[in-house]
Amino acid sequence: MTDTIAVLTGASRGLGAGLARGLLRKGTRLITLARRPDAELQSLAAQHGVELEQIEVDLSDLQAAGEVAERVCASLPRDAKRYLLINNAGTVEPVASAAKLTDGAAINAAFTLNVSAVILLTARFVAAVQDLAADRRVLNISSGAGRNPNAGWGVYCATKAALDMYTRVLKLEQGNSGVRTVSLAPGIVDTGMQETIRASDPENFPALAKFQEYHATGKLAAPADVAARILAYLDRDDFGNTEIDDIRNYN
């Protein structure tokens, strides 16, 4: 019998790639949703004897997100001891001052990826595992940007704030006996998103120099290290007691 079934979004690079590798544990079946497959991950899974299914999907496409959510969750085995959903995929774009946020398609894509896809996938996941006698957990990768405003990040801050509130509602609905859920800020991680941030126009993102300094002085955390800490957090017995959290609160 499979001990753990884990569904992970945004698994092809950065923090998601670190989480995917950390989930390659004996007894785990890992399902990843990403824009591109990871050949190295497939090889590592074979070496660890882990069943891996990689699904190529653009979760910023609302129809595609809904279809893959339904398909993945409808096919989940029902005899595992633990079920995990890690909503990690996200984007910081578009980066612009409030007066310049006029690209409706970019705004819509960001909200779809950062919020709507999470809601769709979580809804299907919760429905699929609702009546199972198993440990069921949802981890939403949020950001301090959802709790503290940053000039130029009107869309990013808004999506992460929405994600935090959605998580609070889910916890309220599920209570203490249902699916446990947390919206977790991972800190400042050395990922492709940080590269995007550092390439921002300083007119659109006044805090640019601060983020460039983080990189230049080695203050960005390594994705693999943060992933390990997040997975340890996910394993905690008190997971879900605090639904809005930050990995930097833990050693």
Hey, what are 191's tokens? 């990922």
d(CA 87, CA 84): 10
Query: Which residue among the candidates 83, 156, 166, 233 is catalytic per the annotation?
Result: 156
For this structure, is 166 an active site residue?
no
- Answer for the pair 80, 29: CB distance below 8 angstroms, yes or no: yes
Q: Which residues have a catalytic role annotated? A: 156
